[in-house]
Amino acid sequence: MNKRLAILSRLLRYPDEALRADLPDIAAAIPGAGFRPDLVARLLRLPRRLAQGDGLDREEAYVRLFDRGRGTSLHLFEHVHGDTRNRGPAMIELAQVYEQAGYALDARELPDFLPLFLEFCAVAPEGTARNLLEQCAPILDALHARLLGRGSAEARLYAVILAATLAEIGAKPAQAPTQEQERTDAEEFAELDAAYESEPVVFGPESDPDKEGARAKVAAMIQRLRHFRGPSATAR
């Protein structure tokens, strides 16, 4: 098992009471897990932050950061093609990668949820994990930049998790932080409403709202995922 990826996966989880109870063990494991030396002290700040103050405040900060809007979503395919229906085939392919590796999915979580993805990579064969992480590196880099752009303490600490994930494939964040800042609840919900209004629910190929660029991206991702499943799986 890759202990570093297991730790990163856990730290990206919703900071409920169960996670907060595990924080001392997680913090104790970080120094000896083999992280790049310059990342160790920075990684230790997140468990310290999550353990401080009111747990409800930490949970609210997590929801504000990751669950409102697509820019900092922890669902990987949100950053490829949003809520378009092409996300479905990509989900199926990724779920089958997990399944064929003997990894049992939690029915409550989507396959592209980053903490789940990292949990799988932690137990997958090294080559498979590296290839999957390399595919997602541009998404991780963009997410890192957007988190830094939020400007909050939590956002900066979670950005370190993304930097440590990129370090697993020998990469460093390359994109400059965006100018996106924290917004009010009203602004966040107004943006979500506008997105849903601009992408109405329609059925049938003649009503497909997807753009060719999005189709090309998801088609390429699905093709790469099929590579991991092998010829016998793609023939089904």
The CATH number of the domain where 19 resides is what? 1.10.3480
Quote the pLDDT of residue 225. Answer: 57
Answer positive or negative: Cα dihedral of 43, 47, 52, 53.
positive
Quote the pLDDT of residue 189. Answer: 44
Quote the pLDDT of residue 100. Answer: 81
pLDDT tens digits along 208-223: 344 444 445 445 555 5
Structure tokens at 120: 């799988």
Quote the pLDDT of residue 151. Answer: 84
Q: Which residue has the higher pLDDT, 181 or 130?
A: 130
Structure tokens at 223: 């093709």
Q: Which residue has the higher pLDDT, 221 or 197?
A: 221
Instruction: Select from 223, 127, 203, 209 the least CA-distant residue to 169.
Output: 127
Query: Using CA atoms, how far apart are residues 140 and 82, in angstroms rounded to an integer?
Result: 15
* Domain span holding position 119: 3-234
Show the CA angle centred on residue 150, arms to residues 29 and 65, nearest 5°: 60
Look-up of token digits 């897990």: 33
Quote the pLDDT of residue 108. Answer: 78
Look-up of token digits 């919703």: 14
pLDDT tens digits along 8-19: 999 999 999 999
pLDDT range class, residue 32, cuts 50, 70, 90: very high
Quote the pLDDT of residue 93. Answer: 83
Quote the pLDDT of residue 204. Answer: 30
pLDDT tens digits along 39-57: 999 999 999 999 998 999 9
CB 57 within 8 A of CB 49: no
Quote the pLDDT of residue 146. Answer: 92
pLDDT of 230 over the 80 cut: no
pLDDT range class, residue 180, cuts 50, 70, 90: low
pLDDT range class, residue 79, cuts 50, 70, 90: confident
pLDDT range class, residue 203, cuts 50, 70, 90: very low
Domain count, the chain: 1
